[in-house]
């Protein structure tokens, strides 16, 4: 039998560069913006003004957004050509002197992690597809999607064929060596980013964090010279964050690796190895310089450096001031819930009861099954039905609930929902929040506050309709720009309600989707990575509202927060937050 030549089917590879990027031979600056303003294309008003940003090859910069990510988006947009720099950087080097004559489109890459914006326009992207049996069209594996030219481990019988082809001159020796180097670079990245076991899984089956790690590997393999990683730590578990930061530090020292600039939110810790910061304030002012100069109070000898080297999810002993909450009736009761895909058991007989008035932090590494577990509760996971005997929701077996009725009782925010939410041109902030009453995506009803529970229109002027309209204003008063915008007089809550949802900054969109989750006062609120893209003031406003006494949650409601960052949980031990950990398919209650 003739073995096919595996190399013949491989696409042509870009030439391997032998020059070092991170320490450019010439020592020319990586970025040169001597003093310019940055505009959105077509806008007369600069988003950022008087930007002075000169990045040298031996420096490690972080771009920190303190403004709901709009300024960070603009600065990265200037570097990737989606925003205008005026006056333009002077010749001969232009914006990227170190590239000399090389094409920035080829050599400057950006990967954005907080929001992927999968759906723009009317389209609704069905994120629940990943929970089911994998469909034919979704069979593409991670390797085929992201790394198509990377071979599986060679079959022993294929090796003679390789040699034979090389001898026959089908592949030059130099070509083979280049391919080997590329393969070992891929093996190194896949190993370090813990992707090796995931390479042959269908792409749709990967968890958020797993996909993000794969995107980082892919970005490096594309062989850029300048790589902009915007919020690369978002959605990564503590171990993966530590691994990524160590990898970035190691690559800084290696020749022929790209110069990396990372984007962070104001509240994110700065990696220890960062030397310089561009801090973008609300209003478009950019402070640039050594991190000690930009954050003088943080870097005095008395204060410890803010470090992004995270400790693993701490399992600190229960605080003596831990407050036992007075619980209500069980809203969710799992009595041995299991989810498996063929031989892969993602959840193995999980037992967990969530009562009214409880506040939970659901933890677990990337891929531990957190999203899967929540999808069972929302009914989006098809195995939610088969688990009906073991899963009671709101005092009935799961099978007795029609899924749309569950969506009315469960308010949620998740990265999948953020990406899937349709951004229709005429959809206002009011409309988007109002869809929370039905838990759907299409604004319904005369006042755009949804339909009655039986699917009929609300009676005009009825108590229910009035309550819903009052709720819309209430969540806006507590979570709208009056609570987080630097100039709440120019962007009032009322004006914000009329703005098009699609035109908001990522942080503002996250805020609106949080309002949507809470507006119907649902019995159960699921907040999965709810804070992505939000600036510090937004997160603080959300936490204020969600804490006891803030008004956002009542004693009749339960709330489950999924986050890889302890600081993002609105409640402390003193507030009686409980923790549930998923690990190896098993669920363990940690507190109390
Ligand atoms: N259709 C499928 N076939 C096989 N495995 C699947 C399928 N869908 C999900 N998985 C696996 O289930 C596991 C759980 O994924 P899930 O998204 O629930 O993790 P997670 O805890 O939410 O992770 P993250 O923190 O990264 O969001 C993953 O390891 C994933 O590969």
Mean pLDDT in the chain?
Answer: 82
Compute the distance between CA of residue 483 and CA of residue 316 in angstroms, rounded to an integer: 33
Residue 341 included in any domain: yes
Q: What percent of the chain has pLDDT over 70?
A: 82
pLDDT at 69: 63
Q: Ligand 1: which of 138, 345, 371, 383 to mutate, judged by most atoms within 8 Å of the beta carbon?
A: 371
284 and 432 housed in the same domain = no
Nearest CA to ligand 1 atom 27: 208
pLDDT above 90: residue 362: yes
266 and 413 housed in the same domain = no
* pLDDT classification of 411: cutoffs 50, 70, 90: very high
* pLDDT classification of 98: cutoffs 50, 70, 90: very high
What separation in Å is there between the alpha carbon of 414 and the centre of ligand 1? 14
pLDDT at 220: 92
DSSP 568: G
What is the per-residue DSSP string for 489-501?
TTS-HHHHHHSBG
Q: Which tokens hold the place of 178?
A: 């280049």
Q: Which tokens hold the place of 297?
A: 């109070």
288 and 338 housed in the same domain = no
Residue 317 included in any domain: no
Compute the distance between CA of residue 146 and CA of residue 215 in angstroms, rounded to an integer: 8
569 and 436 housed in the same domain = yes
What separation in Å is there between the alpha carbon of 376 and the centre of ligand 1? 13
Residue 19 included in any domain: no
pLDDT at 556: 95
Nearest CA to ligand 1 atom 16: 369
pLDDT in tens, 195-225: 998 998 888 888 889 999 999 999 998 889 9
Domain that holds residue 222: 50-294
**In the listed set 294, 312, 339, which residue is the last one of a domain according to the structure?**
294
Average pLDDT over residues 118-125: 45
Nearest CA to ligand 1 atom 7: 205
pLDDT above 90: residue 559: yes
Look-up: residue for tokens 């000898």? 301
pLDDT above 50: residue 434: yes
Which strands make up the sheet holding 83-86, listed edge to edge? 46-55, 31-40, 83-86
pLDDT above 70: residue 244: yes
Task: Report the complex ipTM.
Answer: 0.97
pLDDT above 80: residue 282: no
Look-up: residue for tokens 């108590």? 463
- Residue 546 CB partners (closer than 8 Å, separation 6+): 552, 553, 559, 570, 571
pLDDT in tens, 33-66: 988 999 988 888 899 989 999 999 999 999 998 7
**Which ligand 1 atom is nearest residue 415's CA?**
27
pLDDT at 360: 96
Burial class (CB in 10 A: 0-12, 13-18, 19+), 475: buried
Nearest CA to ligand 1 atom 2: 205
pLDDT at 536: 84
Q: Write the CATH number for 242.
A: 3.40.50.300
Nearest CA to ligand 1 atom 5: 205
What is the per-residue DSSP string for 443-457?
--STTSS---TTSSP
pLDDT in tens, 133-175: 445 556 778 888 877 777 665 444 544 444 444 445 556 788 7
377 and 497 housed in the same domain = yes
Q: Ligand 1: which of 138, 196, 205 to mutate, judged by most atoms within 8 Å of the beta carbon?
A: 205
The total domain count for the chain is: 2
335 and 240 housed in the same domain = no
Nearest CA to ligand 1 atom 10: 205
Bridge-based pairing state of the strands 46-55 and 344-355: unpaired
Nearest CA to ligand 1 atom 6: 205
Average pLDDT over residues 551-562: 96
185 and 57 housed in the same domain = yes
CB 295, CB 547: distance < 8 Å: no
pLDDT above 50: residue 297: yes
Largest CA distance in the chain: 84
553 and 496 housed in the same domain = yes
pLDDT above 80: residue 129: no
Q: What's the start-to-end Cα distance of the chain, in Å?
A: 64
Q: Ligand 1: which of 208, 212, 367 to mutate, judged by most atoms within 8 Å of the beta carbon?
A: 367
pLDDT above 50: residue 4: no
240 and 367 housed in the same domain = no
pLDDT in tens, 14-39: 333 333 344 445 689 999 998 899 99
pTM > 0.90 = no
pLDDT at 153: 55
CB 561, CB 362: distance < 8 Å: yes
Residue 5 included in any domain: no
334 and 290 housed in the same domain = no
pLDDT above 90: residue 363: yes
* pLDDT classification of 68: cutoffs 50, 70, 90: low
Ligand 1 site: residues with CB under 6 angstroms? 130, 134, 201, 205-210, 341, 344, 346, 364, 366-372
pLDDT in tens, 378-406: 988 888 778 888 999 999 999 899 888 89
């Amino acid at each position: 039998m003739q073995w096919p030549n595996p190399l013949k089917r491989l696409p042509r590879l870009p030439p391997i560069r032998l020059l070092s990027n991170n320490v450019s031979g010439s020592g020319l600056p990586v970025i040169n913006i001597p003093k310019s303003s940055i505009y959105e294309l077509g806008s007369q008003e600069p988003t950022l003004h008087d930007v002075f940003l000169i990045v040298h090859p031996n420096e490690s910069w972080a771009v920190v957004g303190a403004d709901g990510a709009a300024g960070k988006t603009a600065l990265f947009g200037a570097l990737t050509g989606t925003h205008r720099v005026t006056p333009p950087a002077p010749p001969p080097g232009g914006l990227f002197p170190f590239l000399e004559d090389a094409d920035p489109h080829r050599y400057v890459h950006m990967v954005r992690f907080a929001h992927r914006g999968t759906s723009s326009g009317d389209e609704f992207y069905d994120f629940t597809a990943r929970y089911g049996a994998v469909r034919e069209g979704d069979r593409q594996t991670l390797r085929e999607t992201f790394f198509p030219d990377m071979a599986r481990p060679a079959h022993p019988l294929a090796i003679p064929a390789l040699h034979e082809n090389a001898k026959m001159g089908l592949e030059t020796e130099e070509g083979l060596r280049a391919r080997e180097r590329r393969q070992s670079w891929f093996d190194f990245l896949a190993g370090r980013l813990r992707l090796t076991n995931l390479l042959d899984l269908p792409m749709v089956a990967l968890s958020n964090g797993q996909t993000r790690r794969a995107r980082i590997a892919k970005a490096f393999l594309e062989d850029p010279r300048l790589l902009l990683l915007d919020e690369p730590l978002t959605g990564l578990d503590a171990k993966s964050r530590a691994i990524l930061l160590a990898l970035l530090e190691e690559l800084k020292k290696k020749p022929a690796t790209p110069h990396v600039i990372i984007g962070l939110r104001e509240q994110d810790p700065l990696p220890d190895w960062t030397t310089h910061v561009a801090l973008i304030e609300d209003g478009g002012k950019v402070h640039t310089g050594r991190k000690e100069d930009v954050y003088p109070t943080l870097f005095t000898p008395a204060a410890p450096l803010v470090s992004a080297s995270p400790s693993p999810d701490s399992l600190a002993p229960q605080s003596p001031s831990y407050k036992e909450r007075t619980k209500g009736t069980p809203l969710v009761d799992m009595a041995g819930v299991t989810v498996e895909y063929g031989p892969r058991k993602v959840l193995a007989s999980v037992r967990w009861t969530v009562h009214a008035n409880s506040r939970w932090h659901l933890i677990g590494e990337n891929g531990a099954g957190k999203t899967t577990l929540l999808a069972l509760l929302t009914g989006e996971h098809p195995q939610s039905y088969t688990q009906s005997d073991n899963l009671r929701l709101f005092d009935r077996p799961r099978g007795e609930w029609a899924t749309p009725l569950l969506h009315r009782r469960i308010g949620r925010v998740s990265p999948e929902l953020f990406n899937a939410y349709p951004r229709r041109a005429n959809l206002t902030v009011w409309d988007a929040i109002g869809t929370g009453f039905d838990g759907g995506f299409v604004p319904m009803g005369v006042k755009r506050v949804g339909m009655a529970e039986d699917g009929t229109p609300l009676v005009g002027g009825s108590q229910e309709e009035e309550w819903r309209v009052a709720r819309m204003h209430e969540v806006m008063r507590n979570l709208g720009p009056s609570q987080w915008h630097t100039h709440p007089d120019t962007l009032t809550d009322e004006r914000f309600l009329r703005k098009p949802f699609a035109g908001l900054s990522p942080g503002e969109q996250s805020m609106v989707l949080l309002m949507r989750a809470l507006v119907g006062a649902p019995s159960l609120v699921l907040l999965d990575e709810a804070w992505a893209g939000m600036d510090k003031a937004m997160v603080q406003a959300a936490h204020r509202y969600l804490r006891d006494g803030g008004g956002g949650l009542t004693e009749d409601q339960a709330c489950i927060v999924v986050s890889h960052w302890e600081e993002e949980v609105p409640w402390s031990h003193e507030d009686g937050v409980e923790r549930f950990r998923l690990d190896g398919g098993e669920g363990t209650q940690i507190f109390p």
